[in-house]
A = this chain, B = another copy of it.
Amino acid sequence: MTELSSTSADETRLVRTQGVTAPAGFRAAGVAAGIKKSGALDLALVLNEGPDHVAAGVFTRNQVKAAPVLWSQQVLTTGRLRAVILNSGGANACTGPGGFQDTHATAEALAEALSHWGTETGAVEVAVCSTGLIGDRLPMDRLRAGVTEIVHEMAGGLSGGDEAARAIMTTDTTPKQTALHHRDKWTVGGMAKGAGMLAPSLATMLVVLTTDAVADAEALNLALRSAAAKTFDRLDIDGSCSTNDTVLLLSSGASGVRPSQDELDAAVRQVCDDLCAQMQADAEGVTKRVLITVAGAHSEDDAVTAARVIARDSLVKTALFGSDPNWGRVLAAVGMVPFPIEHNRITVSFNGSPVCIDGAGAPGARDVDLSGPDIAVEVDLGLGEASATIRTTDLSHAYVEENSAYSS
């Protein structure tokens, strides 16, 4: 085992063609269990073959939590996981005590199938994630059969990371995965679906991160929480929050390398940030990728709050959809932050061009070109030194269409 100094840029390499099976000690699979009516892949498995089985998780802050969230929160209290089973095609949220029994039964079925295959597993070592429509019970007969099938599939030996990433998609148009290879021969991989997390969420966000670094549960927990706070928690598509959001980090220790906490933090954060960028780019109805930065705040919390208020403002988001440099809407949004500001100190720029200086319009503000797919909104409150950035998108016809035309 090696204790290393903190990472610098050239110590790591990100590869988007790999995912949860990039680190040593992990297998994955994805199958079509018939939960989705379309016949698409809808059941995913990630198995940690060890030698370690350390794990940490963060979950939705929504008070209405889906059965799989309640289950997975409970099993995570042990700080260890052997496997994660994930389904799309149904959220198993607001399904009453029966729904919780279904989640429990799914974990039991997987533990049994894995044990039968030779990996002695208890249900308490299995996290469950679900995504899809809220309110309907899952088709348990199909799910049980799917669990048996997916363990067989995985036993086939092929790396099924791609299939797993596909099987958790709902309104996603592309699978999302990435892997970070550290120069010192340890790796962090991840797959994600949806966009939004914790406070915000467009659809459910499910993320499974894997690493072959050696780390105890506390180290994983610290790395995951600090990464989530700076990445998933700052991705705010529509301010809605899912009942099912779950991010899990599993460590196999198979590399034999124990990175420093700083290195682990940095690597996990980089993987999370890349998955965030992929989720933002594929958010429902997105036509613009928008970065809202608030600087000059008294604290980072204030900066996050202000950036989030702007990111959630429908009038700002529709203006950006229209490529309209309507900075007045940004000012009006900022004016609603829950801490005192001074409107005549506020400066705003769009894509680097100043549009508002000291609370009033800058020359040429109405002519700034926002026609490209990326828009940077920078607001300086002129009060302090802290800053923060929120990733969001515009509010488009496609967003309305996608969210009104059918139940999701």
Residues of A within 8 A of B (CB): 61-65, 91, 93-96, 99, 133-136, 202, 238-243, 312-315, 318-319, 321-322, 324, 326-329, 331-337, 340-341, 343-344, 346, 356, 358-361, 365-366, 395-397, 399-401, 403-408
Residues of B within 8 A of A315 (CB): 202, 238, 240, 403
Is the Cβ of B240 less than 8 Å from the Cβ of A359?
Answer: no
Q: Judging by beta carbons under 8 Å apart, are B243 and A360 in contact?
A: no
Which residues of B lie under 8 Å from residue A335 when comparing CB positions? 62-65, 241, 243
- Verify A135–B322 contact, CB threshold 8 A: no
User: When the two chains form the complex, which single residue of B136, B359, B406 contacts A94, counting CB atoms closer than 8 Å?
Assistant: B359
**Can you list 22 A-B pairs with a CB-CB distance of less than 8 A?**
A62-B336, A63-B341, A64-B331, A91-B328, A93-B331, A93-B332, A94-B356, A95-B360, A96-B359, A133-B326, A134-B327, A134-B331, A134-B332, A135-B328, A202-B315, A239-B312, A240-B315, A240-B333, A243-B331, A243-B332, A243-B335, A321-B400
The answer on a CB contact under 8 Å between A63 and B336 is yes
A337 pairs with B404, CB closer than 8 A: no
Contact A360/B96 with A62-B332, A64-B331, A64-B332 known, Cβ cut-off 8 Å: yes
Residues of B with C-beta under 8 A to A324: 404, 406-407
A361 touches B136 (CB 8 A): yes
Q: How far is the CB of A95 from chain B (nearest CB, A)?
A: 6
**A91-B328, A331-B243, A336-B241 are known contacts. Are A318 and B399 too (CB-CB below 8 A)?**
yes
Q: Is the CB of B332 within 8 A of A240?
A: yes
CA–CA, A399 to B312, complex, Å? Answer: 15
- Given contacts A400-B318, A403-B319, A405-B322, are A328 and B94 in contact (CB under 8 A)? yes
CB-nearest residue of chain B to A318:
B403
CB <8 Å contact, B96 and A365: no
In the bound assembly, the distance between CA atoms of A313 and B314 in angstroms comes to 11
Most-contacted residue by chain B among A314, A399, A401 (CB, 10 A): A314
Q: Which 6 A-B pairs have CB atoms at the shortest separation, nearest pair first?
A: A134-B328, A322-B404, A64-B335, A318-B403, A96-B360, A62-B335
Please, which residue of chain B has its CB at the minimum distance from the CB of A315? B240
* CB < 8 Å neighbour of A397 from B93, B96, B99, B397: B397
In the complex, which residues of chain B have a beta carbon less than 8 angstroms from the beta carbon of A359? 64, 94, 96
Q: Do most interface residues of chain A lie in helix, strand or loop, or is the interface mixed?
A: loop
Q: Which B residues touch A366, using CB under 8 A?
A: 407
CA–CA, A322 and B328, complex, Å:
31
Residues of B within 8 A of A404 (CB): 318-319, 321-322, 324, 395-396
Least Cβ distance of A324 to chain B in Å?
Answer: 6
Which residues of the partner chain B approach A333 to less than 8 Å between Cβ atoms?
240
Which one of A91, A400, A401 has the greatest number of beta carbons of chain B within 10 Å? A400
Give Cα distance in the complex from A322 to B400, angstroms: 9
Q: Is the CB of A63 within 8 A of B314?
A: no
Contact with A63, one of B62, B241, B343, B399 (Cβ below 8 angstroms): B343
In the assembled complex, how far is the CB of residue A230 from the closest CB belonging to chain B, in whole angstroms? 21
Find chain B residues with CB under 8 A from A94 CB.
328, 331, 343, 356, 359-361
Which residues of B are found within 8 Å of A65, using beta-carbon distances? 335, 343
* A18–B306 alpha-carbon span in the complex (Å): 43
Q: How far is B397's CA from A334's CA once the two chains are assembled, in angstroms?
A: 25
Give the CA-CA distance A331 to B99 in the complex, in Å. Answer: 16
Q: Known A242-B332, A332-B241, A407-B366; judge A361-B95 contact (CB<8 A).
A: yes
Known A-B contacts A63-B340, A400-B400; the reply to A135 vs B332 at CB < 8 A is: no
Contact of A135 among B99, B346, B356, B405 (CB under 8 A): B356
List 15 additional A-B contacts (Cβ < 8 Å) besides A94-B359, A95-B360, A134-B332: A63-B336, A64-B343, A64-B359, A65-B343, A135-B327, A136-B361, A240-B314, A243-B332, A314-B399, A318-B399, A319-B404, A324-B404, A326-B408, A397-B401, A400-B400
